Amino acid sequence: MVFQQTKWGKAILYFLLFAYGCITVAPFLWALSSSFKPLSEIVSGGINFIPKQFTFQNYYDIFVKEPLFLRWMYNSALIAVVATVCNTLFNSMAGYALARIEFTGSKVMFILILAVQMIPGQLTIVPAYLIMKQLDLLNTYAALTLPMMANATFIFMMRQFFLSFPKELEEAAAMDGLNRFGVFFRIALPLAVPALAAQTIFVFMGAWNEFLKPLMFMSDKSMFTLTLGLNTFKGQYISHWNYIMAASMVFTLPALLIYAFFNRFFIKGISFTGGK
């Protein structure tokens, strides 16, 4: 880029990156440090980053004292894994079909997939609840995994990615006698690794942090997800920020780790694009 051509330009670029990095990392660090503070220190109005009274009590209270903690962790992990696996496959298939296969009604399908996202979720939650009740799925894993098996947003995203792939490879493969499924699994998917990585990150994050659905669908404490379970410390009048901060670390860290891991796929050369 422009900046990299001179020494000074480079210095300025790194300075800007560093400065912006401070802005993005500060809230996280602040939450991290708060999770090791007693409530009295958090609400004292001080803005110290290093805890004055360092304590593990918050983590101890929400993890060890809570008998259902492991169960919630299992629930969350199970749902996030099922959602991630299904989404990556189903969204990619749908996105591919919308971008590449000429079939009757593909436009309508695409528009529907865009349109259903335009009605805000605050309104659809009650009908969604009624459907769950009709299907007798309340308080089951299926209530969370089934609706999270495909996602309109990422179908749209995958479609956009497949749109920009070179058609020649696929045509060549079709010549070689591969059918559509073959082309999809053998040619298109391997090309889409960066997009799949992005999708995996988002879907996992979304499923792991999902709050409204478990809140509505799960009344049985043993079926809670971690996000939901760790929010039960919220009082009517008083927020226990110490627990909320410790809990927020539990939501943030796995998502961040997944991101850090899949980040490696955003590197050129991993996909053999452009007919290399």
Partner 1 sequence: MTQASSWKKKLRNNATGYMFLLPTILVLGTFLFLPVFYSLYLSGHKVNLLGEVSYKWVGFKNFTRMAADERAWIALKNTASFALFVVPLQTAFAILLAVILNAKLRFKNFFRIVFFMPTVTSSAVLSLIFMWIYNSNGLLNRVLEFIGLHGYNWLGDPAVAMKAIMLMNIWSTAPFFMVVFLAALQDIPDSLYESAMLDGAGAWRRFISITLPLIKPATFFAVVMGIIGTFQLFDQSYIFSAGSGGPNNSTLTVALLIYQYAFKNLDFGYASALAVMLAAVIMIVTLIQRMLFAEEKLN
Partner 2 sequence: MMKKSGVVLLSLMLAVVLMLSACGKNEGNTNTGTANSGTNQEPAKEPTAENVTVTLAGWGASPEEQDLLNQTLKEFETKYPNVKVKYEVIADQYMDVIKTRLIGGEGPDVFYLDAFEAPGLIDKNVLEPLDGYVTPEFDVADFEQPMVDAFKQEGVSYGFPKDFSTLAMFYNKKDFAEAGITTPPTTWEELQADAIKLTKKEGNKTVRYGFGVAPELARQMFMIQAFGGKVSDAEGNATFASPEALKGLELVTNMHSVDKSSGEPKEVGAGWGGEMFGQGKASIVFEGNWAIPFLESNYKDLEYGTAELPTVNGTKGTMAFTVAYVMNKESKQKEAAWQLISFLTGKEGMKTWTSKGFALPTRKSVAQELGYDKDELRSAIVAGASYATPWQAGSTLPTVMSNFNNQFVDTFMGNSKLEDAMKKAEDTANKEIAAAK
Interacting residues toward partner 2 by CB under 8 A: 39-40, 43-45, 61, 65, 78, 82, 85-86, 89, 125-126, 129-130, 133, 137-142, 145-146, 149, 178-182, 184-186, 211, 215-216, 219-223, 228-229, 231-240
Cα dist from 38 to 11, 48, 57, 74, 266, whole Å = 41, 13, 8, 28, 40
Q: Indicate which single residue of 86, 203, 207, 223 sits in contact with partner 1 (rule: CB under 8 A).
A: 86
At residue 173, the 3 state secondary structure works out as helix
- Using CB under 8 A, which residues numbered 7 to 46 contact partner 1? 13-14, 17, 20-21, 23-25, 27-28, 30-31
Cα distance between residue 190 and residue 201, in whole Å: 17
Please report how close the Cβ of residue 66 comes to partner 1 at its closest, in angstroms: 18
Q: Residue 160 Cβ, how far from partner 1 at the closest point, in Å?
A: 4
| Cβ nearer to partner 2, comparing 73 with 149 | 149
Residue whose CB is less far from partner 1, 1 or 67: 1
206 contact, one of partner 2, partner 1, none, CB 5-8 Å limit per kind? none
Span from 54-62, 64-72, 117-125, 169-177 in contact with partner 1 (CB under 8 A): 117-125
Asked if residue 51 lies in contact with residue 258, where contact means CB atoms within 8 angstroms, the answer is no
Rounded distance between C-alpha atoms, residue 187 and residue 178, angstroms: 10
Q: How many CB atoms lie within 10 A of CB 202?
A: 19
Site for partner 1 in 49-68 (CB under 8 A): none
Q: Does 201 bind partner 1 (CB under 8 A)?
A: yes
Smallest separation, CB 88 to partner 1 (Å): 12
- Sign for the pseudo-dihedral over CA of 41, 44, 48, 52: negative
Choosing among partner 2, partner 1, none, which partner's interface includes residue 198 (Cβ < 5 to 8 Å by kind)? partner 1
CB atoms within 10 A of CB 140: 16
CA pair distance 129, 145, nearest whole angstrom: 14
If one asks whether residue 81 binds partner 1 (CB under 8 A), the answer comes out as no
- How many residues in the shown chain lie near partner 1 by CB under 8 A? 97
Q: Smallest gap, in angstroms, from Cβ of residue 75 to partner 1?
A: 18
Interface positions, 156-195, toward partner 1 (CB under 8 A): 156-157, 160-161, 163-165, 167, 180-181, 184, 191, 194-195
Residues sharing a CB contact under 8 Å with residue 188, sequence separation 6 or more, in sequence order: 96, 100, 162, 165, 170
Told to check if 150 binds partner 1 by CB under 8 A, we report: yes
Q: How far apart are CA 133 and CA 58, in angstroms?
A: 37
Partner touching 223 among partner 2, partner 1, none, CB below 5 to 8 Å by kind: partner 2
Task: Give the nearest distance from C-beta 130 to partner 2 in angstroms.
Answer: 6
State the nearest-atom distance from the C-beta of 144 to partner 1, in Å.
11
Any idea how long the chain is? 276
SS (H, E, C) 113-170: HHHHHHCCHHHHHHHHHHHHHHCCCCCCHHHHHCCCCCCHHHHHHHHHHHHCCCHHHH
The yes or no reply on residue 109 touching partner 1 (CB under 8 A) is: yes
